[in-house]
Amino acid sequence: MNNQGRPTTPAAIAANGNAPETMSGSKALNQVEKLIFEVGTPQNTGVDLPAPKGGASRLGAHARQGEIGLPGLSEPETMRHYVRLSQQNYAIDLGVYPLGSCTMKHNPRLNEKIARMPGFADVHPLQPVQTKQGALEVMYDLSHWLMTLCNMPAVALTPKAGAHGELCGMMAIRARLDADGETHRRRVLVPESAHGTNPATAVQCGFNVDEIPANDKGRVDMTALRAKLAEKSDDIAGIMLTNPNTCGLFENDIIEIADLIHQAGGYFYCDGANFNALVGRVRPGDLGVDAMHINLHKTFSTPHGGGGPGSGPTVLSDALKDYAPVPYVVKSDNGFDLVEHVEGEAAASFGRMCAFHGNMGMYTRALSYMMSHGSDGLKQATEDAVLNANYVQASLSDVMTTAFDGTCMHEALFDDRFLKDTGVETLDFAKAMIDEGYHPMTMYFPLVVHGAMLIEPTESESKQELDRFIRSMRHLAAKAKAGESEMFKAAPIHAPLRRLDETRAARKPVLRWTPPEDLLDAAE
């Protein structure tokens, strides 16, 4: 038995009175796999290293006193372990992944091929500039594409994820306010449906957050916004607004919002997390945006699902561009160069956000995506993403309940009114989707919608694939309404693990594996 109380030996499993349908616990291709600490033992090793040469240890009292108990596995055991785990996972390469947030869209294999070319993959940031001209050209060209698509005069490439990009934009706003002596401007307006990172970023930069309510159409309540600004505006630092917003809706009043904020003396930070619904159709610079981060790992298809490297380049307006962080790439007659220090041309820069130049592998992939699609292809990807979301919304709106009337942008938002009195909750519905072979959509977000179900199909899915997904969703909605709540409460029944105790996992997390006694004895 391990420390989670889960029996792991055949005898213990049998004695537990909970014998599996097979002795091994595996079901054909669905293999049971234990933790790596339970698979390997410290006595085994997959490598054969010679004893290190050299004199006596000089570690003194710092020398290791006992075994550290790392699991030892042979190479085939290691391969089996990770392949088995990967087969219990769900991935965009396996099926529809309507979760949306960050890249649940296809990552073209071409991007991977380009990023692995030695000239890109094997450069080091400390190499002399003349030996990495190709890499600098990628950064320069990527900057050009991003500035052109946004109609903005500057971009900071280094931020390493969306929230880091928010930090970049808000630090630029703060630097500009401080440079202008406007240190009393500390209030940032944030809609209540915002991504949680928005208020967190504002507070991190020393601002106070003031929430703006949403109207019944899921957009910024303009009456409330005007009232707030009329009441007091000389302390306004700016606004942080996502467009399309977290309800998947375009903020129709965005130009008026930008004007109001500018008249109040503040700056407009646009959260660009959902820029994939605008690329090629709308340029943020035309909307009055002063700063916006772009999730390369979403909008421009660099792999991020599961927590891979992100990249959040941040475009800046004329008002903020002098405050951009270093380093950045410049082009001269002698080729490309890096501005690395806060002096000369970069004198107003607020400083440095990364030790080096950001996530180079994401730049290469994003530029590969842009150049292979071309401007017409990028525009079509945007249109297809919006079309797909609206197809899903229209195909489900008679059996599920849409949170807001009208067409959506890149994601379709449903609430739980259609589950009223069925005994089935959003969570149960999502678990039943797992049995249907789909990763659940985003649940319970945005918070302004009760029991929210936010579906982002992306442009990657074909009509056939969407129709299959829609059939499953309609089937589940019908079952819920037919009173089959027990099926939902038991779901998932076909997954490698059944319903997990999420409450207990959050309240009493077990974050560390501790070896059983006999293993400890053996290691000594």
Partner 1 sequence: MTVKYTEEHEWVKVDGDTGIIGISVYAAKALGDVVYVELPEIGRDMAKGDEAAVVESVKAASDVYTPVAGEVIAVNEALEDAPETVNASPEGEGWFLKIKIKDAGELDALMDAAAYKSFCDGL
Residues near partner 1 (CB under 8 A) are 196, 443-445, 447, 502-503, 506-507
CB 172 within 8 A of CB 348: no
Which whole-number Å values give the CA distances from 163 to 71, 202, 238, 270, 290, in the listed order? 36, 11, 17, 12, 17
**Least CB distance to partner 1 at residue 481 (A):** 23
User: Which is nearer to partner 1, 53 or 508 (by Cβ)?
Assistant: 508
User: Which is nearer to partner 1, 33 or 425 (by Cβ)?
Assistant: 425
Residue 157 burial (CB count, 10 A): 27
Using CA atoms, how far apart are residues 304 and 320, in angstroms rounded to an integer? 29
Q: Which residue from 353, 357, 402 is spatially nearest to 143, judged by alpha carbons?
A: 357
CA angle 245, 249, 254 (to 5 degrees): 65
Using CA atoms, how far apart are residues 218 and 227, in angstroms rounded to an integer? 19
**Least CB distance to partner 1 at residue 399 (A):** 24
Q: Which residue from 324, 394, 380 is spatially nearest to 352, judged by alpha carbons?
A: 324
User: Which is nearer to partner 1, 40 or 451 (by Cβ)?
Assistant: 451
**Least CB distance to partner 1 at residue 240 (A):** 17
**Least CB distance to partner 1 at residue 227 (A):** 16
User: Which is nearer to partner 1, 201 or 368 (by Cβ)?
Assistant: 201
**Least CB distance to partner 1 at residue 430 (A):** 12
- What are the residue ranges of helices labelled H in 236-357? 254-263, 296-299
Residues 7, 13, 15, 18: is their CA dihedral positive or negative? Answer: positive
Strand order in the sheet with 401-402: 401-402, 412-415, 453-455, 442-443
User: Which is nearer to partner 1, 447 or 493 (by Cβ)?
Assistant: 447
User: Which is nearer to partner 1, 48 or 502 (by Cβ)?
Assistant: 502
Q: What is the CA radius of gyration of the chain?
A: 27
**Least CB distance to partner 1 at residue 434 (A):** 17
**Least CB distance to partner 1 at residue 217 (A):** 18
User: Which is nearer to partner 1, 124 or 507 (by Cβ)?
Assistant: 507
Structure-block tokens of residue 475: 């089937």
